[in-house]
Amino acid sequence: MSGTDSTTIAGYLLRSLKAAGAHHVFGVPGDYILRFYEEMSKSPIRHVGTTREDTAAFAADGYARCQGIGALAITYGVGALNVVNAVAGAHAESSPVVVISGAPGVREQREDPLLHHRFGPFTFQREIFDRITCASTVLDDPVTAFRQIDRTLAAARRDRRPVYIEIPRDMVTAEGFALPAAIESGAEPASDEAALTEAVAEAVELLDAAASPVVIAGVEVHRRGLQDALVDLIERGRLPIAATLTGKSVIGERHPYYIGVYEGAMSSEQARYMVEQSDLLLMLGVTLNDVDTGVYTARIDPQRMVRAAQGEINIRHHRYPRVQLGDFIRALTGGITRPRAGQVLQTSAAETLADFPARGRPMTTARLIARLNAALTPEMIVVCDTGDCLFAAIELKVHERTEFLASAFYTTMGFAVPAALGAQVARPDRRALILVGDGAFQMTGTELSTHARLKLAPIVIVFNNRGYSTERYILDGPFNDIADWRFERLGELFGPLRGFEAATEEAFEQALTAAIAERSCPSVINVLLAPEDASPAMRRLAEHLRRRVGGA
């Protein structure tokens, strides 16, 4: 590894990260991690500095979703605790993020001094991260350090979850020991062949008898890289397919068999009708959370369902354990002998744009999404924040698979701008279209300055309705109002950046055209929306939530 001694603990960790696919590490320097940063500066891995630690974790999350693994490096205490929310979100969203935290030296900890950034016993920090990662380690023993690195990174790849690695500052350049061949490969366990055979046989029998089967694909298909296998299945069987909101873009959304996002009452009429009238649902990699079920408004019957998740297949009342999702999808594809007749032709959910822009017409969320649908190109990756922009984005149809990123289940505000940074660093062939509310932008929008510093050119659409719109529809009050920022003027602070204000369709059309043409720096379009404006999906969801809160 050029410039770095791979026999040291830091050198081995950096080499292992690169081998796993992490060619960049995000983060903010601090004294307990500085020696690791110095070693990283000598290595092929590039450090991407961020404005805050939590945005580094969001960036690593976005990077991991595109690259297969992401990493961040922060200091002990104040740095590590600042990333807890973002790492918890990565855990909830099945994103393999490697958290590298510096720490006081082994000798310092042994002598137990009152060091800065300390907040209790030195074990506390690891104990916190134990709760939100699938594996953790402290590299305080040179004899076992290499093996612990192998074990932890293998867990991240196998479980598609964050992991935590703590490195005391006096261990960074300590010589490690190469132990006999590691047993940790990160590979998935093999399926139980008997269970797999029986599950596929039962599923094929039900599929052959079904008149209107539908596939619903979820986030696990994304995270386990099974998109090719999914496309083979639906094309061989000529099966219509819907995605969950957390699984959005699991398939290119202009594929002829794609019918849209199914999210219970929040779905489009086409998707809702086809799913709910189906006599067999093949649910592949779906997590049945309250978001994907439209706050439990989904009308799906377990008696007409094949539910395949990682490690287990459930068919009506039958359970087949120890079956891997990928093995099941591929075997089911091979078992199809009678594809459905005819072809599903999707109909566009986008509003007709023949009259866009209408002179003097104020911007609305519905018209905004319709215009963006027409503007989407295959090079664009959509990164969406939480709020009405997320519900409105149900109607967006991205061209390529895995080109829509969001914190759709954990729903943490402030995800989009920093996650888009990670996505664009991982995928320089893509251009980010960032959808973010004004409230979420105020939380982490400073990371747009890093986009500008790196000469990235995302297009940021700010849904500016001067407050927290989701909460307004659940329970309104002055607590939902926020400061009215002039987002279009951020270039004066963040440096090279083009800003636009758009209150009308004509102004938005001019701004969007200019932003698409701008390739040298970020563009921000401050879209002024009425506080009461909302997407149709948002209105339906908010009504359900309002009844629940009122009942409570």
Check if the beta carbon of residue 244 is closer than 8 Å to that of residue 264: no
Instruction: Convert the pLDDT of each residue in 4-56 to its tens digit.
Output: 677 999 999 999 999 999 999 999 999 999 999 999 999 999 999 999 999 99
Greater confidence (401 vs 329) lies with 329
Return the CATH number of the domain spanning residue range 193-335: 3.40.50.1220
DSSP per-residue string spanning 262-293: -BTBTS-HHHHHHHHT-SEEEEES----TTTT
The answer on pLDDT for 2 being more than 60 is no
CA distance 121 to 139: 17
The token duo for 51 is 């404005």
Q: Where in the chain is the domain with CATH 3.40.50.970?
A: 9-171, 365-551
Q: Band of the pLDDT at 143, cuts 50, 70, 90?
A: very high
CA distance 381 to 428: 11
- 241 phi and psi angles, rounded to 5 deg: -135, 135
CA 209, 213, 218, 222 torsion-angle sign: positive
pLDDT at 295: 76
Average pLDDT score over the chain: 91
Q: Where in the chain is the domain with CATH 3.40.50.1220?
A: 193-335
Sheet of 163-168, strands arranged across: 46-49, 24-27, 70-74, 97-103, 163-168, 135-138
The structural architecture, per CATH, of the domain 365-551 is 3-Layer(aba) Sandwich (3.40)
The answer on pLDDT for 138 being more than 70 is yes
Most confident of 229-243, 264-278, 279-293: 229-243
Q: Band of the pLDDT at 349, cuts 50, 70, 90?
A: very low
The answer on pLDDT for 183 being more than 90 is no
Q: How many CB atoms lie within 10 A of CB 178?
A: 11
Mean pLDDT for 424-452 is 96
The answer on pLDDT for 246 being more than 70 is yes
The answer on pLDDT for 474 being more than 90 is no
| CATH topology for the 9-171 domain | Rossmann fold (3.40.50)
Write the CB contacts of 135 (distance below 8 Å, at least 6 apart in sequence): 151, 152, 155, 156, 159, 163, 164
- The answer to whether the pTM exceeds 0.95 is no
Instruction: Convert the pLDDT of each residue in 93-104 to its tens digit.
Output: 999 999 999 999
CA distance 199 to 270: 30
pLDDT at 234: 96
CA 434, 438, 442, 448 torsion-angle sign: positive
The token duo for 132 is 């939100």
